[in-house]
Amino acid sequence: MKRELHKAKLIAALSLTVLIFLMIIVTNNYFNEMRMNEVKKIYNDIKMDAMNAEAQYEILSENPCLMMSFDPISSELFELGNKLTDMETTLGKTNEQVLDMKKYYSILEARHWLFVKKVSKQCNSSATPILFFYSNLEDCPDCESQGFVLNYVRKTIPNTQIYSFDVNLDSGAVSALKANYNVTEVPSIVIKEQKYTGFRDSDSVMEIIKK
């Protein structure tokens, strides 16, 4: 009798263990599916925003001075950058999809930067483009802080545009910009064609802009 009772307890314990294991698998698959759906949405949103930014750029290129009163491209690029950061957080900084989107984003940024420079010359615009070179690797502890500072400056000073470039990205556009401004260290920023290396707080950056 005791032996049968012990056997029944073992069977019950084993059944419970199997049930818990199956519940873990089902739950894990459910959250993995939710995660993949979220990633797909972010990816599709990024592609759509990129296409919108590209189309707006082509349209406004016909009349650059129109950008002084109508500049949705900057907002599109900023939102696109935020979504790309979300994608990077979800999939990881070395994910192939993330790197491909970053390359395309860098090209859009470079084109918009050139466009803003053209507008500034032709239309007497007061826009201040800032190039920000950073690294996602462990070799730049100040890069993230510098990014926060530049976002604050962008919100504080009107007509300030920030263009962020990962120096480790395998991109011809990024390589050309690095060579043009002799960027060898990170973080580095370029304001009014002058390169500044090392971390700069908000007061320092705003002082440079107002010179």
Tens-place pLDDT, residues 40-85: 666 566 666 666 666 666 666 666 676 655 555 566 677 777 777 8
Residues whose CB is less than 8 angstroms from the CB of residue 187 and which lie 6 or more positions away in sequence, other chains included: 132, 133, 134, 140, 142, 143, 146, 197, 198, 199
pLDDT in tens, 2-14: 444 444 545 555 5
Q: How far is CA 15 from CA 24, 27, 139, in A?
A: 14, 18, 51
- Contact assessment for residue 66 and residue 120, using Cβ atoms and an 8 Å cutoff: no
The overall average pLDDT reported for the chain is 77
pTM attached to this predicted model: 0.72
Asked, as a colleague might, if the bond just before 141 is cis with ω within 30 of 0, I would say no
CA distance 65 to 81: 25
